């Protein structure tokens, strides 16, 4: 039983993750937003026991804080919650897409949105990144999402907890290595968007093969 | 019927690609090496009709030149063949691994080995990148390799030809977008090496899902 806040939980990805967490049961879920009213509305739609509040508020006293905002809002959102998160695991899901060319890999000068998140949060925060490659509209359904979730962190124990959490919502989580490796998953998202157009995919996904001791698929 | 040189064709990846091309038939294959003798030896092992020579020599008058050398040899090898390749499609397979930390994504300052290849070759050369994620020891067998081959280029026609060539050797090629997107596949290789250790894979691979109009797998 973990207390999990979804910061930016009114957006497509955050809402889908929250929905799956509620459905899985066993965790206390809170929806955060910049606007308290929007958070309350989204929480009510998910069920009677879902908490809500502004981002910096829901991020307090949690075990896990999942941040699901667009790249353009990443810096401000992380700064908003830095003083709240304490020893919680912060799961940043940011993909550094640069509109309008979202099908083109354009990693930040620092190497990845993950390394930027590390800058914004400071060294003391337990930072993990994940969920870069999941199509939100598929995650919002009850169907199996044919995609692995890559999980990155320099904190091996935190990474393991998030891999396990991914399993709770019915997907396969895979440890992808250090935080710096997040660049691989972040870059992959532009390819998936390219595939959606080029190969008429309705939410292309990625699976890794040949992994003998990884959690089973589905 | 294309004339295809494999520069660095005495190495594991180059040799495996050449072996599959010879087995597929329909193409004229040449093995290049820095040392003429090594090229002759490798060519003889592949069959009586396989050409050979030093890299700059075999790269002349080809339709496709596949470059398979370690990152440390990329710059010199590409400079060696620049004056030879003319209008051939150059397929660079370089992954910018930085030993000893090969499980850590460490993309070059220019963004990718692909963008560095573009610098080395100049704007006039038809540059494609591919084969970053294939385990050479699996490609060297007759088995199905459970991995997609991502193909990148700003030259859409050249990219399509290489996607088709990948199909000739029994793998699924996927257009991954512009040359800049090569960063995604290059980064992925460090993850696959991490998976080999973490999940005891003997050559982890990657597959993309949900692609309605892509070539079928296998």
- List the single best residue of B188, B190, B202, B218 to mutate versus A (max A Cβ within 10 A): B188
| Backbone phi and psi for residue B102, each to the nearest 5 degrees, phi listed first | -75, -15
Put simply, the answer to whether B208 touches A206 (Cβ < 8 Å) is yes
- Write the DSSP string, A100-135: T-TTS----TTSSHHHHHHHHH-TTSEEEE--TT--
For residue B173, name the pLDDT band (cuts at 50, 70, 90). Answer: very high
Residue B128 · residue B114 · CB < 8 Å: no
Residue B176 · residue B209 · CB < 8 Å: no
- Gap between the Cα atoms of B159 and B34, Å rounded: 27
Residue predicted with more confidence, A122 or B1: A122
- Gap between the Cα atoms of A72 and A182, Å rounded: 18
Residue A66: name the closest of A83, A81, A76 by CA: A81
For A26, A48, A83, A85, the CA distances from A22, given in Å and listed in that order, are 8, 10, 26, 21
Residue B90, pLDDT above cutoff 80: yes
Q: What percent of chain A has pLDDT over 70?
A: 100
CA angle A180, B131, B58 (to 5 degrees): 130
Residue B218, pLDDT above cutoff 70: no
Min distance B128 CA to chain A CA atoms (Å)? 16
Which of A111, A206, A211 is opposite residue B199, by nearest beta carbon? Answer: A211
Q: What letter does residue A213 receive in the DSSP assignment?
A: T
Radius of gyration, alpha carbons of chain B: 16
Q: What is the rounded average pLDDT of the residues B125-143?
A: 97
Domains and CATH numbers, chain A: 3-198 (3.40.50.720)
Kindly report the three-state secondary structure assignment for every residue of B111-173: CCHHHHHHHHHCCCCEEEECCCCCCHHHHCCCCCCCCEEEEECCCHHHHHHHHHHHHHCCCEE
Residue B214 · residue A199 · CB < 8 Å: yes
- Gap between the Cα atoms of B189 and B70, Å rounded: 13
A154 reaches B (C-beta below 8 A): no
Max CA distance (Å), chain B: 47
The 10s digit of each residue's pLDDT in A122-157 is: 999 999 999 999 999 999 999 999 999 999 999 999
For A27, A112, B154, B155, B160, the CA distances from B179, given in Å and listed in that order, are 44, 19, 5, 9, 13
Residue B156, pLDDT above cutoff 70: yes
Put simply, the answer to whether A175 touches B198 (Cβ < 8 Å) is yes
Max CA distance (Å), chain A: 47
pLDDT of res. B217: 86
Q: What is the rounded average pLDDT of the residues B148-175?
A: 98
The 10s digit of each residue's pLDDT in A72-106 is: 999 999 999 999 999 999 999 999 999 999 999 99
The 10s digit of each residue's pLDDT in B20-78 is: 999 999 999 999 999 999 999 999 999 999 999 999 999 999 999 999 999 999 999 99
Measured between beta carbons, the chain A residues lying within 8 angstroms of B205 are: 208-210
- List the single best residue of A103, A133, A153, A177 to mutate versus B (max B Cβ within 10 A): A177
Measured between beta carbons, the chain B residues lying within 8 angstroms of A111 are: 105, 107
Put simply, the answer to whether B205 touches A203 (Cβ < 8 Å) is no
The 10s digit of each residue's pLDDT in B10-19 is: 999 999 999 9
Q: Exposed e or buried b for every residue in B174-212, given b needs 16+ CB within 10 A?
A: bbbbbbbbbbbbbbbbbbbbbbbebbebebbbbbbbbbe
The 10s digit of each residue's pLDDT in A16-73 is: 999 999 999 999 999 999 999 999 999 999 999 999 999 999 999 999 999 999 999 9
CA angle A161, A73, A105 (to 5 degrees): 80
B 58-117 → A contacts, CB under 8 A: 103-107, 111
Min distance A184 CA to chain B CA atoms (Å)? 5
- Gap between the Cα atoms of B172 and B217, Å rounded: 6
Residue B119, pLDDT above cutoff 70: yes
Min distance B60 CA to chain A CA atoms (Å)? 33
Task: Write the CB contacts of B12 (distance below 8 Å, at least 6 apart in sequence).
Answer: B136, B137, B140
Residue A218, pLDDT above cutoff 80: no
Using omega within 30 degrees of 0 as the cis cutoff, is the peptide bond preceding A106 cis? no
Q: What is the rounded average pLDDT of the residues B194-211?
A: 97
């Amino acid at each position: 039983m973990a207390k999990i806040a979804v910061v930016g939980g009114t957006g497509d990805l955050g809402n889908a993750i929250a929905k799956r967490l509620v459905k899985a049961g066993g965790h206390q879920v809170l929806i955060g937003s910049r606007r308290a009213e929007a958070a309350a509305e989204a929480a009510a739609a998910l069920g009677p026991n879902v908490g809500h509040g502004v981002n910096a508020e829901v991020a307090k006293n949690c075990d896990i804080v999942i941040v699901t905002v667009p790249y353009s809002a990443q810096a401000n959102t992380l700064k908003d919650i830095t003083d709240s998160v304490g020893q919680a695991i912060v799961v940043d899901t940011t993909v550094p897409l640069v509109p309008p060319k979202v099908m083109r890999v354009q990693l930040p000068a620092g190497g990845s949105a993950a390394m930027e998140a590390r800058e914004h949060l400071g060294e003391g925060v337990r930072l993990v990144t994940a969920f870069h490659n999941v199509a939100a509209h598929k995650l919002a359904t009850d169907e199996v999402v044919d995609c692995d979730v890559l999980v990155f962190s320099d904190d091996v124990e935190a990474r393991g907890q998030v891999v396990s959490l991914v399993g709770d919502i019915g997907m396969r989580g895979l440890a992808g290595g250090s935080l710096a490796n997040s660049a691989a998953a972040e870059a992959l998202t532009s390819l998936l968007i390219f595939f959606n157009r080029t190969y008429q995919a309705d939410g292309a996904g990625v699976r890794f093969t040949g992994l003998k001791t990884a959690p089973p698929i589905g």
